[in-house]
A and B are shown apart, each in its own frame.
Chain A
Amino acid sequence: MGEFLQFVFLGLSTGAVYAVLASSLVGVYAATGIVNFAQGSIALWAVWAVAALRADGTLVLPVGSVGLGSGPMDRVPAVAIGVASAVVWALLAHLLVFRPLRRAPVLGQVVASVGLMIFLQALVTLRFDTTSLQALPLLPAKVLTFAGAHVNVSDLVLAGAAVAVAALLWAYFRFTRPGIATRAGAEDERAARLMGLSPDRLAAVVWAITGGVCGLVAVLAAPTIGLDPTSYTFYVVPALAAALVGRLASIGLACAAGLLLGSFQTVILWLGTKSWWPGWAQAGLGDALPFVVVIVALFLLGGRIPSRGEVTETRLAAVTIPRLRPAPVALVLAAATAATLLTSGAWRFGVVTSAILTLLAMSLVLLTGYLGQISLATMAFAGTAGFALSKLTTSAHVPFPFSILISAMVATAVGVVVGIPALRIRGAQLAVVTLAAAIAVQSFVFSNPALTPFEGNLIRDPSLFGLSLAVRSGTDLTTARFALTVLVIVALLTLAVARLMAGATGRGFLAVRSNERAAAAAGINVAATKLLGFGLSAFLAGIGGCLIGYSRGQLSDASFTVLAGLTLLAMAYVGGITSVSGAIIAGLIGPLGVLYTFLTQTVEAGRYYQLIAAGGLLVTAVLNPLGLAGTTGHHARAWLSRRRRPPEAPPPGAAAPTGTEPAGTVPTSPEPSHAA
């Protein structure tokens, strides 16, 4: 019992971070209607800023740094400056990203906030000395003994701080004039203006407060939790889970759920050390927990989360239905073939990776662009197939191409399961579910030693009719045979998906995306269509994952990181998430693709890749909330229709010939089936 309690208390410091992040997420949502995936990244910066200040008094800025005094800075001013840096980031996020996107489609907001999340994470990795900095102690190191458990005072202080922060935020929204106006303003901007308060300024206040408290609690918890260039970024996922328990509306519930989740995770770690605990569940279960919480919160606790804003006003990225003309298709294929054959080594690997990424981006175009379902789990689908491929080729000796097909089927099944929540929720909440699912898959499957051996998952090289299609041969890093195989597979599937998009399936997807009610009334089974979309998308991603696997020869948890998945979504959005050409652009600029190869091979700036990608996304998202291809497509259509239409359009009534068809040609079946 004492030991159990000890672990409960041990989890309080992580729980406190979850709790404050969760309360802040609720606060930001109340003020702006935005689900801020970057909340953890903002805190991450503060943690590292304080570490740098306390190491040698250097104030690290996004560009350059300032020496504040000689030698380490005291704890109080260091923490104050660190917290201030989080406030500044939060305000910048509001002013430069989210305020301009106030009326943008949900997809634009989600993608921008994901972009900010990975931008700050990349910036931290670049700007701070992540190898030698440490989080020096801040809170008293005393230990109490309570019911046989040794309890760190710092853990109690942190939990107390989290509760205090939640109480403060709650009181702000409940009792202060600006707080009340903020809530009113989020529902009806005019109401706030009538109270004489600008909704923008009110939102800025909330951004500043939440940025500050998140920075503070993360800084205080860092000595216990440790310094890490990514962890706080992804703490937003358990925090989102906790916020969903509070239905994104209750700060108190969000805080309590956050604290509990933290404790529960350490208790699970403790249970994992017991002899009776199953081996397969020893690692990764704690990280999979947020997904379980999200599902429970959304499905069992019942009641829908009130969605913000006018549903009918939601605009979506414009769509151009692809028309496959032979000339451009042949041109692209020829260019890709030439790029494959004329390059070698790292460059050819970049081309191959870009081809694979194009396929992964197509899976997003289909699911997110066409069907309107925001999924952050694409890489998890790819990874699932990759790991299945490893098992199939090494243990079961399934030959290529059946190995790929079966693995992609496994991914399809996972995709359909992940798609089930989409039957009830949409928009940013669906993004949260899929992100939590991705993290659960990553930590429970890819990083689990019981399922993934220490040396990685080996994959047997493919061969067809005795012909080796292996990626490597002698000193050749990327064989032409393998590259062409990838190209053929990607080209065939891309063409198939383009036909799908241009056909009845694409029309049906677009109908569901634009109006689910009307789609159902037109006879579309909306639920089945969504699952079909998730399944198809996961199948494509699965094939992509297998190709990644074959191109690497082995897979580890680093092969399909959630971060790479988010970057891919970002790139798909930048390229234009509703078109085939957008997917090809995404492939070229995606992680480890041609742009990355250029950055590493030619200008030696590979480490800036993630920053450039995320920054590019932010700029694109803010300037073109409908996505690049969306905007250009829109302009092109407007221009075309201006040219096509005669200068003076005849009045529609006069132009329409009154139908004189005999009644018999009506395209309806006059009688329903009488079989029943």
Chain B
Amino acid sequence: MPPDPLFATDALTVRYGGVLANDRVTLTVDRGEIVGLIGPNGAGKTTLVDAVSGFAPATGAVTLAGRRLDGAGPHRRRAAGLARTWQAGELFTDLTVAQNLAVAIERPGWRTVVGDVFGRRRPDADGIQAALEMLGLGDAADRRPTELSLGQQKLVGVARALVGGTAMLLLDEPAAGLDTHESGQFGAELRRIAATGVGVLLIDHDMTLVLDVCDRVYVLDFGKVIASGPPAAIRDDPAVIAAYLGSAVAE
């Protein structure tokens, strides 16, 4: 592993009341690398994404390209290049799909006020269209999120996280709601995204997708990392099978 990873957490800890939702989680993701994060429900995967993106109170360090981000507000972390998606989609229902993406590119402030009133600026339509097409949403640009299937809504969330200067992508169950075929396509799309140098942390219950597309995988259980390594090793790890894969296969 190179000495300076793109993204790293160090001893990240989140406590919800009596629950240690994340217990000294330390992980790294490199440029262009797709890293999986798996674990049973309630293991603390979403909590990790919340903590990293600034939505959960956490102790420990979060680093992006050598820059400490812990302590910064969510919007600052996003501006620094750390983008996330949500397990429940969380799209802006008043806006079209393209406008959902435009929000992440041009954020409101005094500059947009002046620009809107006096300028003739249009949102970066090409960038938006390219991001949508990359995720197979090319013809959904002018639709409302509610008109799309749940799986497609998730993909819009991914596209929204992809625009506006993203170096590191945290995906919380993006493939839930996709069928096997779509999930396979999504895997290919992820590879193309990573090929541009973006680091990806992928949380998903679709083991075919995770084991297929990821370079490395971390396994979380009760807030702790219990195993990490290449997919092949994870698949055969007895501890992982006991904690998660056994039940996942049984499902």
Contacts and interface: CB of A to CB of B under 8 A. Distances in A.
Interface stretch (B17-25, B34-42, B130-138, B205-213): B130-138
Given A510-B94, A670-B167, A652 B138 contact: no
Contacts of B55: 517, 520-521
Given A507-B103, A659-B192, A663-B192, 14 more contacts: A505-B113, A508-B107, A508-B112, A514-B94, A518-B92, A652-B149, A656-B137, A656-B140, A663-B195, A663-B196, A664-B196, A666-B130, A668-B167, A671-B65
Indicate the member of A318, A506, A652 with the most B CB atoms within 10 Å: A652
B148 A667 contact: no
A513 B83 CA distance: 20
B220 interface: no
A269 B29 CA distance: 66
Interface residues of B, number: 80
27 contacts: A321-B99, A503-B115, A505-B108, A507-B95, A508-B107, A508-B108, A514-B92, A515-B92, A519-B92, A519-B103, A520-B55, A520-B78, A521-B86, A522-B107, A524-B108, A529-B108, A652-B140, A659-B138, A661-B130, A663-B195, A666-B131, A668-B167, A669-B166, A670-B167, A671-B197, A672-B81, A676-B66
B139 interface: yes
Contacts of B189: 659
Contacts of A532: 108-110, 113
Interface residues of A, number: 57
A639 to B, nearest CB: 15
Interface in B120-151: 121, 123-124, 126-128, 130-131, 133-140, 147-149
A665 interface: yes
A529 B6 CA distance: 30
Interface of A: 316, 318-319, 321, 496, 499-500, 502-515, 517-526, 528-529, 532, 536, 641, 652-653, 655-659, 661, 663-674, 676
Indicate the member of A499, A641, A674 with the most B CB atoms within 10 Å: A499
3 closest Cβ pairs, A-B complex:
A508-B108, A503-B116, A670-B197
Interface stretch (B156-164, B228-236, B240-248): B156-164
Contacts of A523: 75, 78-79, 104, 107, 164
Interface of B: 6, 31, 53-55, 64-67, 73-75, 78-81, 83-84, 86, 90-95, 99-100, 102-104, 106-110, 112-113, 115-117, 121, 123-124, 126-128, 130-131, 133-140, 147-149, 152, 160, 162-168, 179, 181-182, 185, 188-189, 192-193, 195-198
Contacts, number: 200
Given A655-B139, A672-B65, A511 B95 contact: yes
B163 A510 contact: no
Contacts of A507: 95, 99, 102-103, 106, 108
Indicate the member of A502, A524, A664 with the most B CB atoms within 10 Å: A524
A653 B182 contact: yes
